[in-house]
């Protein structure tokens, strides 16, 4: 049996023992993957008064942080380089644990 891969599934095509007439699709796993989000066990206060509560990486390898801004409802995803220095990132890694939930 032959299969065609799609971003969310592999679908059987043709019959057992016979080749499929369906052209194969190229599938890039990294393109189809959703950004990986890691939540911090301890929020990091930043100099503008907000708190950082999570981290995610996009397909483009850009790292974003989940920012809770005072007076705003919900989180806002912003590029890490806008709100976090290298030293702050190192300090956050030392004091917080990160998990997917």
Work out how many domains the chain is built from and give that number: 2
Domain of residue 42, residue span: 34-99
Tens digits of per-residue pLDDT, 21-59? Answer: 555 555 555 555 667 889 999 999 987 788 989 998 877
Tens digits of per-residue pLDDT, 66-87? Answer: 888 888 888 888 888 888 888 8
pTM of the model: 0.59
Q: Are residues 60 and 16 in the same domain?
A: no
Q: Strand ranges (DSSP E) for the chain?
A: 2-5, 10-13, 36-45, 51-57, 63-68, 76-79, 98-99
Sequence-distant (≥ 6) Cβ neighbours of residue 60 within 8 angstroms = none
Q: Are residues 43 and 87 in the same domain?
A: yes
């Amino acid at each position: 049996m032959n299969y065609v891969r799609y971003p969310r599934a592999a679908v059987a095509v043709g019959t057992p023992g016979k080749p499929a007439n369906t052209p194969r699709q190229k599938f890039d796993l990294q393109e189809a993957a959703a950004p990986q989000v890691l939540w911090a066990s301890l929020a990091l206060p930043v100099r503008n008064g907000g708190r950082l509560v999570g981290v995610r990486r996009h397909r483009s390898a850009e790292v974003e942080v989940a920012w809770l801004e005072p007076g705003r409802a919900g989180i806002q995803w912003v590029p890490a380089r806008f709100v976090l220095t290298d030293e702050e990132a190192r300090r956050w890694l030392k004091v917080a644990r990160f998990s997917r939930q």
